[in-house]
Amino acid sequence: MFKKILIANRGEIALRIMRTCREMGIATVAVFSDVDRSALHVIHADEAVCLGPADPAESYLHIEKIIAAARSTGAEAVHPGYGFLAENAAFARRCAEDGLVFIGPPADVIQDLGDKTVARQIMIQGGVPVTPGMSQAEPDPAALAEAAGTIGYPVLIKAAAGGGGKGMRVVSAPEDLAEACESASREAAAAFGNGAIYLEKYLQKTRHVEVQILADQHGNVIHLLERECSIQRRHQKIIEETPSPALTPELREAMGQAAVAAARAAGYVNAGTVEFLLDPDDNFYFLEVNTRLQVEHPITEMITGIDLVRHQIEIAAGTPLSLAQKDIAGRGHAIECRIYAEDPEHNFFPSPGKIRFLQEPAGPGIRNDCGVYAGFEVPVEYDPILSKLVVHAETRELAISRMIRALQDYAILGVKTPIGFLIDVLGSEPFSAGDTFTDFIGTHFSDWKPQLPDLDLAAVAYIADELSAAEKSTIPAAATADTVTPWQTLGNWRQ
């Protein structure tokens, strides 16, 4: 087993990985940019290496700097978390070339599945159902228009490389196609360095259901049930739950087997997620494979009792899976809400700034994977996720009630968050009934505004905090220094 792992990420996911490493007796190395000197993942790591300026290209996306940090600290493996370089085949390949174990799938698998058109071809060969559409990227507007006519409107423009909603557009009429393709290509090029796009049939009133998989280096592949991820804004998830309220036992089994088939067809190793679209007639279609740990992995952990990060590390070390498919069973219901620094009143626009006050929810069945503290400055340069709030209960109804209560107890002042919005979504009749589809927010909450009493209360609390004589902070004053000191890592000292 590894003695030291470098975590090539930041925020709550870096902390999440560190916690499992500590349980396994593995030392951790954090990397950080100049604006993250006082970040929690830096404070909690055994060692920390500064990568340089805040610009991701000069820090968290700079492959050579991360490799150098691993070499200088004696790390044997690199865990990429999610985002940044997690699905970058060149990074995985560079780690291998330098004798570092990349905790994720092989570089060739990442490359194949990262290209959506190649991934579709692999799935077709593996017998996995795919959405009707093109099998390769196409730069020619005339060819795209011809393909759209064959597929039938509405069509979905997708980036061949990348995901997360970037480079995606829904087009309902031929006259809108050219401009939408140009716009999608520009966005994809900016996000992934690749502007290639292709077209799929846009399936209406679908659910987004994904299946967690684990595959070791010895040919063993299992699935760990499904997650429903249909509540999305800008094609990005914001609420996830498991089990899906839409799946029958028979459909769950069929989707699980399809996910395992997809993993085998791709030669997959380590943890991953096979994503499907589910239509109202219970037909499901392959969407993509996320070749990394998912943001929503905690809800799978909650219902199965399985530590996915531990299994990622063990698989990367060459250990055979200790689980068989017959060992996997879900118990109860789990829901995750993503807590971002963003403004739900203005299209969820990022809301960076200093966190003036933070009170986290607690109680039975509540888990909050949090990466910030009162006094922390949420930077503008990175994804604005603050935490993942997760609840587990015996039934879906009890889980919804517990999540609403947890959100009501969650206080974050100084930046805007979607907490009030999430409470209203969870408390709505359509969500309670399980009528969750990918257009849920646009259909039911497009004109959402917060309740005025909540705004008034928040304003009073904010003013009171501003007038307070002592600024609240959960870390020592030393954390504001230019360098990391032993006082910042006091909690990780070992005897």
| Residue of 347, 150, 134 whose CA lies nearest to 238 | 347
Q: Tokens representing 211?
A: 């299946």
Radius of gyration (Cα) for the chain, nearest Å?
22
**CA-based torsion, 277, 210, 289, 84: positive or negative:** positive
Biggest alpha carbon–alpha carbon distance for the chain: 69
What is the CA 47 to chain-centroid distance, rounded? Answer: 25
CA pair distance 151, 148, nearest whole angstrom: 5
Q: Tell me 115's DSSP state.
A: B
Q: Tokens representing 212?
A: 């967690």
> Cβ distance 403 to 414 under 8 Å?
no
Angle among Cα 188, 193, 194 to the nearest 5 degrees reads 60
**Which residue among the candidates 37, 207, 233, 292 is catalytic per the annotation?**
292
> Cβ distance 27 to 104 under 8 Å?
no
Q: Tokens representing 489?
A: 């890592």
CA pair distance 18, 310, nearest whole angstrom: 11
Q: List phi, psi (to 5°) of 364.
A: -60, 135
The three-class DSSP label of residue 312 is helix
User: Cis (ω within 30 of 0) for the bond into 243?
Assistant: yes
Beta bridge partners of 335: 241, 391
Q: Does the annotation mark 292 as catalytic?
A: yes
307-345 CB burial, b ≥16 within 10 A, e <16: bbbebbbbbbeeeebebeeeebebebbbbbbbbbbbbbe
Q: Tokens representing 6?
A: 């470098």
Residue with tokens 């423009």: 157
Q: Tokens representing 225?
A: 């049930």
Angle among Cα 104, 109, 115 to the nearest 5 degrees reads 115
CA pair distance 421, 449, nearest whole angstrom: 8
| Residue of 334, 431, 446 whose CA lies nearest to 392 | 334
Q: List phi, psi (to 5°) of 306.
A: -110, 130
| Residue of 38, 45, 37 whose CA lies nearest to 4 | 45
**CA-based torsion, 41, 47, 52, 56: positive or negative:** negative
List, by residue number, the catalytic residues: 292
